[in-house]
Structure 1
Amino acid sequence: KTTGATWRSRPPSNSPNRYMPILSRVIAGQLTETNPLESVDNSTWETVSTVARSLNFALTVRDRSETNGVGQMPQSSFDTMIVTVEDVTPFTVFTPPTWGQGSTQTVSWVVGQTTNGTINCQNVNILFSSDGGANFSTTLASNTPNDGSQQITVPTIPDTNNALILVEAADNIFYALSDSFTVSNTPDFSFNNTNGDQSACNIDAVSYNFDYLTSNGFSETTTFSAAGNPTGSSVVFTPANLSSDGSFTMDVNGLTGAAVGDYTITVTGTSTSITKNVDVVLSINNGLCSSVANTTFQTSTTGVIFNTISNLNTGKPSGYSDYTAMSTDINRESSYDLTVYANSDGNFQIITYVWIDWNQNCSFDDAGEQYDLGTSANIVNNPTVNSPLSITVPSEALLGNTTMRVTTKYTAPGANQFPTSCENGADAEVEDYTVNVVASLSVGENVFENFNIWPNPNNGEFTVKLNSNSSDTIKINIYDIRGRQVFNNSYNNTSNFNEVINLGNVQSGIYLLNVSDGFRSTTKKIVVD
């Protein structure tokens, strides 16, 4: 949630540490709660924030009981702190395979954006527990760079199945835990999902990436399988098995028409002597959430400029404006300035956020899809304080049309009532636009003379014709809608280029064909029936 309490006051304690939620719940993987039962020690009704917001904390210290004191008067003091939660990739620790006592091993974690911007955590501490988290008295590394990897020496302890790794910010308050793992000299393997849970909406496939690790000389071949994917879909592993450390990808295909809902897919690694499971979640959505503000006030976005989109002096026709008929083409890995004009409806504060659904999953909650155009005040049809903001199209953004949402919202001074992508009824205005992501281009986008593709649609075989004045070779690259290359070839350049292209047994769908000659380049959509 974006407002309201997420933590509770706990009974007084002589411990200098306060874990939120309590450490036992974190170890159990219970980071959020919905309608929990009341607890005597106030350990329930605590949940981590899953959206960007500000949290206000107060710490109270007392030197003795406030009643029945003897001698000196009881004393107390307090201090306050504001914690800013940002919408970034979660800081997570990979669960190791079995580790042998005294061996040199590598602790791995996902850094995300924790070294950048306002988080700016450059160093971490790595702690070890052999008793399931009852204590983390063993320090494996102190003040080591927050770079996602650190070699350590495993403590010489008796065998245990309850080992845990805790990686904490050395100069901040956040931390992450591994799942329980084993310390023993028994050969073993493990695998971890590295790109998180996925969502799909109006796309046919999603991919999950995994790291595969062995320990203590494990050399058996592990074969991967999955269960729980949506009915009618198929799962492909690349590679299908591994016998040494490496990585693999799980593609879930055929999602068009899958029933809306959340699916827990159990990924199984099976070797001769060991079987292990890892669960991932696939969410099937049927469209973007609605977001409509109220019209009581004139708080609004009054103009948007993004590449070729220029929509100015719009006022506030309603709480939501559908401008998706306005579209612009943007290239992967290229940067574009985004300028938003807004109206604060008087001497009031407003916050403007923009979201772009880069992975086309009909959700704006993914890391890297939210942009802060700033907190402005007392403006009428003027650029927000962070305008123009440079937007770089991610290299992994899916090709094709997607939605850009712009929200300008009133906030009380100091309250930091941030806009959210799916809220309704706020003192705000919401606008949607279309952006079309095309493949990265190394040269300028210039259409060739007499450029033509026929037939289009086709059955995977078609002719490309164009005139070229360059002496360089003609390069043709073809990508599927997810940006995966399905064809590439180079041809001798003639002034009148005419070549039959055969894609073989590709699936039916939309593809993007890019042609370049070192001087000109153009990208066109083709349809394979």
Structure 2
Amino acid sequence: MKFKLLLTLICFVPMSLFAQWNKASLKKQEVKSSKVQIESAGLYSLNIDQIRGALVNAPDRFTSHSGVLVQMPNAEGKLESFEVWEASNFAPGLQEKYPNIRAYVGKGMDNPTAILRFSISPKGLSSMVMSDKATVFIEPYTENNDVYIVYNSTKHRKHNEHFECNVFENDLDIDLGELDYSRAPMAGNFRTFRLALSCTGEYGQYHGGTVADVLAAFNDTMTRLNGVFEKDFSIHFDLIDEVESLIFTNPSTDPYTVAGPDQANSVISGIVPLSSFDLGHLVDREPANGAAYLNGICGSMRAGGWTAHNIPEGAAFDIDYVAHEMGHQLGAGHTYTFYGAQIGRPVEVGSGNTIMAYTGITGNLDVQANSYDYYHSASIEQIKNRLNQVPSCGISTPMPLDPPVVNAGNDYTIPHSTPFVLTGDVTGPESEGYTHNWEQVDMASAAQYGNNSRAYPTKPTGPNFKSLKPVADPVRYFPEFPSVLGGVLSTTWESVSSISRAHNFSLTTRNNHATQPQSVRDDAKVTVTAAAGPFVVTAPEEAYSASSGDALLVTWNVAGTDASPINTTHVNIKLSTDGGSSFEVIAANTPNDGSESVTIPANSQSDNAYILVEAVDNVYYAVSPSFVIDYAVGGEVCYTYTYSGPAIPINDGPGGSEITSPEILVPLDVDNTGAITRFKVSLDVSHTNVSHLNIGLESPYGTRALVWNRTCSGRSGINASFEDGAGNISCANSPVAGEFNPNETLAVFKGHNATGQWNLFASDNRPGATGTINSYSIEICNRELENLGVKDLSQHNAIALYPNPSNGEFYIDAKNLKGGEVITMIYNAAGQMVHKSSFNHAGGKLNQKYNVNLPAGVYVVLVKAGQETLNQKLIVK
């Protein structure tokens, strides 16, 4: 029935609706100062009268009526369709008084995981689309609101690095230490709270100086915040009818002399009785700061929250600052571990990257530049617990839609230094709109603060994996799969463990429903044992050349995984021919004995293939190095791509003594189609103090590596190259010159297809110095490949071993082998090398006898002779 209603809706939409948005360019319009740091994904003009006309028919979302169709541009330059309802942030009397200031919610019709929140007023339209992809924002870009900017959450940078949030404990009738934070159900209710939002005169002046102007700004912020609060907590805030009395537009006469949570609580509760609101908050225009009373909602300090910023508008202000301070008032502590968290839940590496973290303002412990637009599962449970303490506060409305049923799976024990993958089982109504994210919930001790808040293999407790944005599939690889493909199992913010320890994880599922939003969590534990591991694929090796339809010997280091406490008896073997994007099973449920001869399917030609061996009835796995199928591998060929100007400025940003860290991106198009085997970057940077800089590379797939991380104080430029294995950075010269190791390994790009737009990213997070990116180059190396035809295949890998089985005496035979060194290695079933020998071959026919004194068993013989290889199982009787 719902499908039929939507179909009818679309059929009767006027065609003019699709012309609401048009691509735009800047001519003489003046860009808003608050938007100059944003990298645009697109500029558009909007026929706002036309969209207002469409929204006249938008029903209230809590009615049973279907919504209206609205389209919004996305970061890819396409229009996305949404079914839209009104979702007011105002109490009914306030909404009636200000009919031109409204808010809406939309459900994605193209992407069922997408939720649209947007506000509209005489000052224009602002929106946010949350989905399984990067969050997309739309905001007025020019002073006259004629042009709008579309950008995603990775392109907007904080305007101020110096930010300190103070959290104050709040006396409660219930001891929070006695609560169970593992689960806190909200009993299927949607709760609406009354918000008393106040502002200083400075904030009022910034937004236009009238009550209506400020209410429009309040509406913009609360549209986004309610979008987050609803999907994570099933709660919504309405501005109270008396909010006009809390708005001040004259800095000289407002009642706030020393802005902060205590004065906010005093002023707000002095104007509006406590009985008339459930939460109060003060927004201010001054250098970034904030403070709040923990668990203040519905208590005596319910108005004890304050957020300040010199640019008090936009995505960063709404999500990184206001949502953070209100999060404290709702019951959440800090989640970061870069510093001893105040009354916190220290479950995130470094600065963290969720709302209750300190994203983008901690220097070299920043996980990323801006917060994701969601709360960590630990924060969600803290807040749900607090809200359950005050069940009579707010208005509860039952949600008839059943919540998701989430099963994080069994607990497992895995070998050390080995990657793993967690898969949830999630069911429920309208599940096509669900998003899921796995997060580590181990709390750090004081020993894991500061520099030890990074991820590393010997970290004994606390988090070792960063939070990743929710996605449509309840699956997560630890570490991220592109790093594993590159052979990198330990990075700054993600690392496997080389010691015995437990990792506890939560799986949070959000249903992303427009009218009945709910989130559900389940947990699982992964215990690492140092008694087994690492589990490693030992063959095929890097650049091995295999053939379609032929046998391929796969070997792996069992490494004690077949014994207690892991007891893995069988494995699955999978093949990828598309660079690791997908895998098919080519040997199912084969014994975990360290070797298996598999047959490569016909027509499997690949210049970037992988073998994956995964444990049956467990979560750990291993991936081979990249090899090729139906190609002959020659040497290595390298290509250099250069950005040669114009120079791109790296500025401190506005605000004098303030520290602005807008991240600039310098694009470079690459047409190389091969899989990366080696990577090098060279920088030419002018800057008066390079210790202020972060500089790194971003691949077309979004994988990042930090090359330079705030080192060499006082040096005035960089003219250097960075490549893995080049040696530590030397600060002896100014500008810094030489060849050095990057701050983070460039191996994370290994195996990637290089084609597309690469970006050099750079930010300056200290005041008092400026500079430019003058130029940079990247050197990308690939395998030199020869496409093998049918005739070539018959001659390829022409080395043979016989007899097999044998009594330990066997021959290596080749009809026509190039001259050079021939190396022979033999491995036992445990992956240990038990024989290695070499000799020089003059060229031509080869028939070499071997007599190895080995006990009966199964072995793997690996022979290398120039570009020819043999990888074969040998049975010794």
* Superposition TM-score tier, normalisation by shorter sequence: 0.3 to 0.5
The structure number with the bigger radius of gyration is 2
Greater helix share, structure number: 2
TM-score using structure 2 length: 0.22
Greater strand share, structure number: 1
